[in-house]
């Protein structure tokens, strides 16, 4: 069975602080993909990153970075020097063969000015 | 521009009525999905389709129906059998062909309220 766990329901940080959003996944498939999405108040999910199971390299994109560790089945997301515009709900997702995405319950991030 | 269009953005339904939510994509994607999101909760899969004229139930299909007569369109009908339909509905698509994977692209959602 596939499962994605985002244990942090809500996080509040003060602007310019760093924040890490946790994501733990479960799957027995050896080929899978992991994703992070951002959901601003408008509701549409915005794609942030996609990572396949064979690529454990960490990735950095501006203030965003992702740490993928197969040993702990985690795919954590860090925002450096957070800004008010980062306030949103963030979802981690897993895709395996069979063409279905499995989403975590999301982490609501509030950045306080 | 390529993307997914959901309509309407807001929808009000009287109890006992069926309503249909529209989802159209011009990304030439094979796979399409419908998700339901309740306040403070994650996305739950209602139905998905990997190819025209074929679709599968997700985790919460009861009270919903879909059709996939065209590659571009995947409408969702919320029937009167769905006891608690008030929610935010998101449609998505991805390449989904022969196991290929890309990210899912999402529409802007339809907020359905039962009055």
| Token pair of B38 as six digits | 């309740």
Q: Residue B1 has what pLDDT?
A: 64
Contacts of B24 (CB under 8 A, 6+ apart): B4, B5, B72, B73
- Closest residue in A to B50 (Cα) is A99
| Token pair of A112 as six digits | 């306080």
Q: What is the pLDDT of residues B2-48, one digit of tens each?
A: 799 999 999 998 888 999 999 999 999 999 999 999 987 789 999 99
Per-residue pLDDT of chain A (113 residues; tens, 9 = 90+): 889 999 999 999 999 999 999 999 999 988 899 999 999 988 899 999 999 898 888 888 999 999 999 999 999 999 999 999 999 999 999 988 766 789 999 999 999 99
Q: CA B28, CA A21: separation in Å to the nearest integer?
A: 33
**Neighbouring C-alpha atoms within 13 Å toward the C-beta of B26:** 4
Q: Please, which residues 8-47 of chain B have a Cβ atom closer than 8 Å to chain A? A: 31, 33, 35, 40-43, 45
End-to-end CA distance of chain B: 35
């Amino acid at each position: 069975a596939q499962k994605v766990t985002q244990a942090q329901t809500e996080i509040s940080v003060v602007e310019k602080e760093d924040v890490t959003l946790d994501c733990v996944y479960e799957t027995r498939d050896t080929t899978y993909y992991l994703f992070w999405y951002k959901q601003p108040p408008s509701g549409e999910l915005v794609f942030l990153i996609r990572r396949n199971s064979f690529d454990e390299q960490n990735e950095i994109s501006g203030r965003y970075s992702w740490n993928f560790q197969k040993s702990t089945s985690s795919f954590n997301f860090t925002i450096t020097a957070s800004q008010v515009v980062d306030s949103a709900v963030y979802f981690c997702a897993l895709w395996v063969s069979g063409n279905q995405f499995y989403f975590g319950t999301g982490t609501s991030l509030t950045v306080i000015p | 521009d390529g993307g997914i269009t959901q309509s309407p953005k807001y929808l009000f339904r009287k109890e006992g009525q069926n309503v249909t939510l529209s989802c159209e994509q011009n990304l030439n994607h094979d796979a399409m999905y419908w998700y339901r999101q309740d306040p403070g909760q994650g996305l739950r899969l209602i139905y998905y389709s990997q190819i025209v004229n074929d679709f599968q139930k997700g985790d919460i299909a009861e009270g919903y129906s879909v059709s996939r007569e065209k590659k571009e369109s995947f409408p969702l009908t919320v029937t009167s059998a769905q006891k608690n339909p008030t929610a935010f509905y998101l449609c998505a698509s991805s390449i989904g062909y022969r196991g290929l994977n890309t990210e899912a692209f999402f529409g802007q959602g339809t907020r359905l309220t039962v009055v």
